[in-house]
């Protein structure tokens, strides 16, 4: 089969055809393949082409797993283009929370934490008419599924179509997913054992009949860590006790207060960061009986005694009670986890979060892991437990047809001990200088929301007249889309976002939306007992590069991914400013992707110097002057 026949565009960019062919070969031969290509290369279109060719030749399905919901939407956009040229069935699915029509009548009461309980309660007690209508309206429901399969709709369209016939949008998406040739889902449906049965079962879809594509695979370790870790503070237990009391769960409230007292004693009596999980469980058994903890966890997780009243009288749902219940269930059942503490918080963590990942990938017919930043590949493979053989790597060798100048400013840093008002003022001034000298849009990516809050006010004052779009924690998909549209629709806009956030990976800033990208600071994870536990596990295994694997490389990947947001097509010209002295080290320079280190200048630049570099770059007609 000619790759062009299943490619969404009229022609391939350099390297895209070769990547599509390599993915096809890997999928047909049953390989696990790790593939790397720079940001803006067009990995999604190329890999979709190769995976779909293999699926049609072998009678398999394709499961395309993405880290975020926004990335799912980007893949759906590519699929929509391809379906117009090469018809095939495809579907996407987000979480139940994203589709639920019933919770709209309970605005403000149903949080992410309480939604699973809310949905289960309403469905099991026949209180959700949208779910009840699914078997009662077979013709309309089947028509909605077929429409979703023929042209994969955005989430909002599927929700609207389902509402028009009063059926559950999630059920429409779920049935379309298992009937499709290509399924696009968040990571949870592939790697979270609580969600896997939604997609894979013995009748509709089996792993050994599916080609798995994992997008932005450099995020997998972080994702697996999140699945296998949980935290709980004494303040949260106190809030849960008050919540239980307000729901007239007096016994549960009393038990939570006893739990808080016992944990407070254990935390105070522990000198280091590592706690004895067995000791705490033994204390529970001795003081409360052998099954007290399990019974309390069940009572808190089900809230059965208060459920009808909460729903009938439209009370706020028990987010803290449910959180404590889930943590206690994990405390008693997660045998591999270790227990750690800091301040008045305890945490459960699996010190080897990727244990079992290699075996999970082997359950599929083939697995293709994609990333724009896997170098050095040996460390990347070890970080995912894929270093024991049976895994191939492929790096796109085509030289990118882009002109990128990288400027490293060594006079600033976001090191924790250096975060002073003077440093924030210096960072803000340099960012403002670059924005003022850039004729089109600018992306500014910082390590955290805390850093963002420190530079926001002086930066906003310095760039008056420019439309500033800011990422904030907890944005819904609709709110994120609105902000992206605002950035795209107003020329010269400034985007202020966090490295590793929803706007720094997987987002398409096409055409000339951005001329300059500023990466201010390095997003190294702060020291914590959770991180110490992973370091200790890697050290026990003899891992020589544990700091590189767990701290430096993840931070650099976030920075490099953000730096490539504006490099989206051949012929692109752009500036990248890396504002932190740590980017200037020889080790970091070696780890930069080739396109980013092809033309680098470094120094402690004054704001005026940075503005001059930007103006000269955009006004340049001939060869660039040397600034090194």
Top pLDDT among 396 and 496 is at 496
Alpha carbons 192 and 201: distance in angstroms, whole number: 14
Write out pLDDT tens, residues 450-487.
Answer: 999 999 999 988 888 899 999 998 887 778 888 888 98
Asked whether residue 627 carries a pLDDT value surpassing 60, the answer given is no
User: What pLDDT, on a 0 to 100 scale, did the predictor assign at position 138?
Assistant: 93
Place of tokens 């850039």: 438
pLDDT band of residue 5 (cuts 50, 70, 90) is confident
What is the arithmetic mean of pLDDT over 124-129?
88
Write out pLDDT tens, residues 435-448.
Answer: 999 988 999 999 99
Asked whether residue 77 carries a pLDDT value surpassing 60, the answer given is yes
pLDDT band of residue 339 (cuts 50, 70, 90) is very high
| 444 phi/psi in degrees, rounded to 5 | -120, 120
Write out pLDDT tens, residues 551-605.
Answer: 999 999 999 989 888 776 666 788 999 999 999 999 999 899 888 888 999 999 9
User: What pLDDT, on a 0 to 100 scale, did the predictor assign at position 626?
Assistant: 37
Write out pLDDT tens, residues 82-92.
Answer: 999 999 999 99
Residues 6+ apart with CB under 8 A from 153: 147, 161
Is 102 exposed, middle or buried, given 0-12, 13-18 or 19+ CB atoms closer than 10 A? Answer: middle
- C-alpha torsion sign, points 25, 31, 37, 39: positive
What is the arithmetic mean of pLDDT over 269-288?
88
Predicted TM-score (pTM) of the model is: 0.89
DSSP for residue 550: I
What is the arithmetic mean of pLDDT over 485-505?
89
Choose from 126-135, 394-403, 456-465 the range with maximum mean pLDDT. 126-135
User: What pLDDT, on a 0 to 100 scale, did the predictor assign at position 515?
Assistant: 87
User: What pLDDT, on a 0 to 100 scale, did the predictor assign at position 252?
Assistant: 84
What is the arithmetic mean of pLDDT over 596-624?
83
User: What pLDDT, on a 0 to 100 scale, did the predictor assign at position 615?
Assistant: 93
480: helix, strand or coil: helix
User: What pLDDT, on a 0 to 100 scale, did the predictor assign at position 620?
Assistant: 45
Asked whether residue 313 carries a pLDDT value surpassing 60, the answer given is no
Which domains, ranges and CATH numbers included, belong to the chain?
A: 1-88+182-226+353-398 (3.40.50.300), 96-109+129-180 (no CATH), 229-349 (1.10.275.40), 403-619 (3.40.50.300)
User: What pLDDT, on a 0 to 100 scale, did the predictor assign at position 156?
Assistant: 87
CB 366 within 8 A of CB 22: no
User: What pLDDT, on a 0 to 100 scale, did the predictor assign at position 476?
Assistant: 76
Top pLDDT among 372 and 456 is at 456
Asked whether residue 155 carries a pLDDT value surpassing 90, the answer given is no
Mean pLDDT of the chain: 88
User: What pLDDT, on a 0 to 100 scale, did the predictor assign at position 470?
Assistant: 93
Asked whether residue 400 carries a pLDDT value surpassing 70, the answer given is no
Residues 6+ apart with CB under 8 A from 148: 91, 158, 161, 172, 173, 176
What is the arithmetic mean of pLDDT over 51-59?
95
User: What pLDDT, on a 0 to 100 scale, did the predictor assign at position 485?
Assistant: 87
pLDDT band of residue 303 (cuts 50, 70, 90) is low
What is the arithmetic mean of pLDDT over 211-219?
94
Asked whether residue 202 carries a pLDDT value surpassing 70, the answer given is no
pLDDT band of residue 195 (cuts 50, 70, 90) is very high
325: helix, strand or coil: helix
Residues 6+ apart with CB under 8 A from 472: 449
Alpha carbons 169 and 479: distance in angstroms, whole number: 20
What is the arithmetic mean of pLDDT over 205-226?
93
Asked whether residue 152 carries a pLDDT value surpassing 90, the answer given is no
Nearest to residue 52, comparing CAs of 10, 90, 80, 81? Answer: 90
User: What pLDDT, on a 0 to 100 scale, did the predictor assign at position 108?
Assistant: 64
What is the arithmetic mean of pLDDT over 252-266?
90
- Omega before residue 551 within 30° of 0, cis: no
CB 595 within 8 A of CB 404: yes
């Amino acid at each position: 089969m000619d790759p062009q026949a299943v490619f969404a565009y009229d022609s391939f960019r350099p390297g895209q055809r070769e990547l599509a062919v390599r993915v096809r070969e890997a999928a047909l031969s049953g390989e696990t393949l790790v593939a790397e290509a720079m940001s803006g290369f067009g990995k999604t279109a190329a890999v979709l082409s190769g995976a779909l060719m293999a699926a049609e030749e072998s009678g398999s399905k394709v499961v395309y797993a993405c880290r975020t919901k926004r990335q799912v939407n980007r893949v759906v956009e590519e699929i929509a283009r391809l379906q117009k040229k090469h018809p095939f069935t495809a579907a996407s699915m987000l979480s139940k929370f994203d589709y639920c029509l019933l919770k709209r009548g309970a605005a403000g009461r149903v949080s992410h934490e309480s939604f699973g309980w809310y949905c289960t309660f309403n469905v099991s007690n026949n209180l959700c008419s949208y779910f009840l209508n699914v078997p009662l309206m077979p013709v309309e429901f089947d028509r909605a599924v077929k429409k979703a399969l023929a042209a994969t709709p955005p989430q909002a369209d599927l929700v609207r179509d389902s509402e028009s016939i009063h059926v559950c949008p999630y059920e429409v998406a779920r049935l379309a997913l298992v009937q499709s040739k290509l399924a696009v889902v968040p990571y949870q449906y592939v790697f979270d054992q609580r969600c896997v049965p939604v997609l894979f079962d013995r009748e509709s879809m089996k792993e050994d009949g599916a080609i798995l594509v994992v997008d932005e695979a450099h995020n997998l370790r972080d994702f697996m860590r999140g699945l296998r870790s949980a935290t709980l503070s004494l303040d949260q237990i106190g809030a849960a006790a008050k919540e239980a009391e307000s729901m007239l769960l007096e016994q549960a409230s009393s038990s939570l207060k006893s739990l808080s007292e016992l944990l407070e004693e254990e935390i105070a009596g522990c000198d280091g960061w590592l706690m004895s999980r067995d000791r705490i469980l033994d204390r529970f058994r001795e003081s409360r009986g052998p099954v007290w903890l399990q019974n309390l966890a069940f009572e808190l997780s089900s809230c059965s005694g208060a459920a009808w009243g909460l729903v009938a009288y439209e009370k706020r749902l028990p987010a803290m009670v449910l959180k404590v219940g889930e943590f206690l269930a994990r405390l008693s059942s997660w045998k591999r986890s270790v227990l750690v503490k800091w301040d008045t918080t305890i945490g459960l963590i699996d010190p080897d979060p990727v244990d079992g990942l290699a075996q999970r990938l082997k359950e599929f017919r083939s697995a293709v892991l994609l990333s724009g930043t896997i170098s050095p590949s040996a460390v990347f493979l070890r970080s995912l437990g894929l270093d024991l053989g049976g895994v191939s790597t492929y790096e796109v060798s085509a030289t990118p047809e882009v002109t990128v100048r990288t400027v490293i400013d060594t006079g600033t840093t976001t090191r924790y001990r250096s975060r002073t008002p003077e440093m924030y003022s210096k960072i803000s001034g340099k960012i403002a200088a670059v924005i003022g000298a850039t004729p089109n849009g600018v992306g500014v990516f910082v390590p955290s929301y805390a850093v963002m809050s420190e530079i926001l006010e002086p930066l906003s004052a310095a760039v008056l007249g420019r439309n500033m779009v800011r990422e904030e924690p907890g944005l819904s998909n609709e709110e994120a889309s609105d902000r992206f549209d605002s950035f795209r629709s107003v020329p010269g806009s400034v985007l202020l976002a966090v490295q590793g956030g929803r706007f720094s990976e997987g987002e398409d800033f096409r055409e000339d939306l951005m001329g300059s990208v500023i990466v201010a600071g390095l997003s190294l994870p702060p020291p914590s007992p959770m991180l110490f536990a992973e370091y200790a596990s890697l050290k026990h295994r003899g891992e020589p590069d544990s700091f590189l694997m767990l701290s430096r490389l993840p931070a650099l990947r976030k920075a490099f991914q953000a730096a490539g947001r504006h490099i989206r097509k051949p012929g692109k010209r752009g500036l990248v400013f890396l504002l932190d002295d740590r980017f200037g080290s020889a080790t970091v320079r070696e780890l930069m992707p080739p396109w980013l280190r092809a033309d680098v200048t470094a120094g402690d630049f004054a704001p005026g110097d940075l503005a001059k570099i930007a103006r000269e770059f955009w006004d340049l007609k001939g060869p660039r002057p040397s600034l090194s």
